Structure 1
Amino acid sequence: MLKLSYKKLFKKLIDLDMKHNDLMEKANVSRSTFYKLKNCENVTTDVLLKICVALDCDISEIVECLEENEC
C-alpha cells in the first residue's frame, strides 16, 4: 500500500535552516497538524498548499509517495 511521506519537507526545512515553529507560524499550521506530518499521517491538501506558499515551492518538493513500510 502506498502512503504519502513528508521526509522531503523536513529535509527542506534543514536546508533552509528553518525551525519547525517558524514554519507553523509562517504557514499558519497548528501544532497537531504538524505532528501529523511528522508521523506520516494524512493531512489536507489545503495544509500542504499553505506550506508550499510559505516555502515558495512546489508540492513535489515536500511530499513523495512511498510504500507504507518506508515512511
Structure 2
Amino acid sequence: MNVCYNRLFKLLIDKGLKKTEFAKEVGIGQNTLAKLSKNEYVSMEVLVKICKGLKCNIEDVVEIVWED
C-alpha cells in the first residue's frame, strides 16, 4: 500500500497556487513538501494543515494506492 498526493497538486493547480507559496502559508516545511512530492508518508498533522488551508477533505488531498 502506498500513498499518492497527485490530488493535492491538481487542486493547487486548479486554485492557481504554487507549491512553495502554499506550503509557507499553511506552515509546512520544505522537507515535508519534498516528501509530498515524492509520495512519501507525512504526519496526520500535516494533512490536517493542508485540508484546513484548502478548505477540503482528506480524500481531496491523498489517495491510497493498493499494490497487487
TM-score interval, normalised by the smaller of the two chains? over 0.9
SS at match of 2:40: coil
Identity of aligned residues (%): 36
* 1:18-37 aligned within 5 A: 18-37=17-36
TM-fit CA distance, 1:7: 0.5
What TM-score comes out, normalization by structure 1 length? 0.89
Look up the equivalent residue of 1:44 and give its one-letter code. Answer: S
Q: Which residue of 2 aligns with 1:49?
A: 48
Q: Which residue of 1 aligns with 2:58?
A: 59
Distance in 2, matches of 1:25 and 1:32, equals: 12
TM-fit CA distance, 1:27: 1.1
TM-fit CA distance, 1:49: 0.3
C-alpha RMSD of the superposition: 1.4
Stretches of structure 2 lacking an aligned partner (at least 5 in a row): none
Stretches of structure 1 lacking an aligned partner (at least 5 in a row): none
Look up the equivalent residue of 1:9 and give its one-letter code. Answer: L
Q: How many residues are treated as equivalent by the alignment?
A: 68
What TM-score comes out, normalization by structure 2 length? 0.93
SS at match of 2:17: coil
Look up the equivalent residue of 2:54 and give its one-letter code. Answer: L
